[in-house]
Homo-oligomer: A and B are copies of this chain.
Amino acid sequence: MTTRATELLRVIHARPGVTRADAARLIGVGTGATTELVGRLGHAELLAETPAAPSGSRGRPTTALIPHPRGPLIAATSITHEQWRVDVVELGGAALATVREDLGDRTGDEVVAAVGAAVSRLRTEYGDRIRGIGIAVPGTVSRDLMLDASNLNWRNVDLAAIWPKAGIFVAGNDATLAASAESHRGAAVGASVALHLRVEAGLGGAVVDGGRVLVGALGAAGEFGHMPFGDPTVECPCGAYGCWGTAVDGSALARLLGHHQPRDPISYARRIIASTDPAPAAATATAATALGRGIAGLVNGLDPDLVTLGGLGTDLLAAAPAHIDQAYRAGLMGFRRENPPPILPSTLGDDGPLAGAAEEAWTALLTTLV
């Protein structure tokens, strides 16, 4: 439902600390209805008011709307190839607590158990204020919450164990969720259509259209790394040939440099991209060109306002901007070349997936609060 109450909470979430008067204008209600709304939501412990910063101009001062100190919370979780992390996030996106730990060489089920234990501890601390959980994982999540993460060699890891209770449960691919975060809190704020791409082991991302992440029919959209922009003779671990991901990630750099496939392709790639020696720089340039050419294809097809790059994409953009840009412009349709959508580094960096998990869980929770 989209009641005025939900709209108001959404405004506070998007802009915590918004003044009461601005919020009322944004959702288009008069002062009478605002009094009723703010009173009701305050009484329900969903929002609170503080005296607000003085505006400096004339007129009766208004108050700032902030999350209620006993209001609902979301447990935002991310699992990366190195560590897991759980943040307790209030309305507006601020974190009240953080727990994190390196994965070590735990199995998937052990990591899920550790995360579940951390969530349980947080639930004893915050009680029923924690209304749901959002989880970002480096792999694919099926509808029945089984996780496959080929990069970690995890198969059929059951995420449901993390959150046995009723409430909000959102789980998704890290790149997809990072796209959400980037569009709500990062470099793509204000874009009507934003494309986020994240290079790690492989390449993923998502389109965010009007604030909504396009997740596809099975929740598996955004696997742009498996579009055939690459070399048709290179086989991808997915079984297809010519996947774009195989042309831009750490495996591509290793292939170009004649190295073995690295154990940790992300740290490997960071090292290569940071190197200024000629051979690594040439490999980096080749990957950057492949990245730019593919971005052009996606921009032609999807018509975003802008493109944001996360993960190793940020490194490639910093290391070889000219190669990306040249291939990008060359691949664009003629009419776009004059004013192409900018390619920007992610501003949330490695926090993107966690922030996105918080965003999507909060979005889901807000539709259930009245």
Interface residues of A (CB under 8 A from B): 2, 140, 148, 191-193, 207, 209, 214-224, 226-229, 238-241, 293-294, 296-298, 300-305, 330-335, 337, 341
Q: Could you list some 26 contacts between A and B, CB below 8 A?
A: A2-B2, A191-B217, A193-B217, A214-B302, A215-B303, A216-B302, A216-B303, A217-B303, A217-B304, A218-B303, A220-B303, A222-B301, A223-B301, A223-B303, A223-B333, A224-B300, A224-B301, A227-B227, A227-B300, A227-B301, A228-B229, A228-B297, A229-B229, A240-B333, A241-B330, A298-B301
Nearest-neighbor residue (CB-CB) of A300 within chain B: B226
- Assembly stoichiometry (copies): 2
The residues of B that contact A192 with a CB separation of less than 8 Å are 217
Of chain B, the residue at the smallest CB distance from A293 is B228
Instruction: Tell me if A's interface is mostly helix, strand, loop or mixed.
Output: loop
Contact (Cβ within 8 A) A296 B221: no
Q: Is the CB of A217 within 8 A of B300?
A: no
Task: Name the B residues within 8 Å of A297 (CB-CB).
Answer: 226-229
**In the complex, how many angstroms separate the beta carbon of A213 from the nearest chain B beta carbon?**
10
Chain B residue, CB-CB nearest to A228: B297
Q: Using CB atoms, name the residue of chain B closest to A194.
A: B217
The answer to whether A333 and B226 have CB atoms under 8 Å apart is yes
- Chain B proximity of A161: nearest CB distance (Å): 22
Bound state CA distance, A136 and B50, in angstroms? 53
Known contacts A216-B303, A301-B223, A333-B223: does B228 contact A296 (CB below 8 Å)?
A: yes
What residues of B have a CB within 8 angstroms of the CB of A140 in the complex? 335
A240/B302 in contact, CB under 8 A: no
Additional pairs, 13, CB under 8 Å, beyond known A222-B301, A223-B300, A240-B333:
A191-B217, A192-B217, A193-B221, A214-B214, A219-B303, A223-B303, A223-B333, A224-B301, A227-B297, A228-B296, A228-B297, A229-B297, A239-B333
A337 x B239 contact (CB < 8 A) = yes
Q: How far is the CB of A367 from chain B (nearest CB, A)?
A: 14
Question: Could you tell me if A221 and B332 are in contact, using CB atoms closer than 8 angstroms?
Answer: no
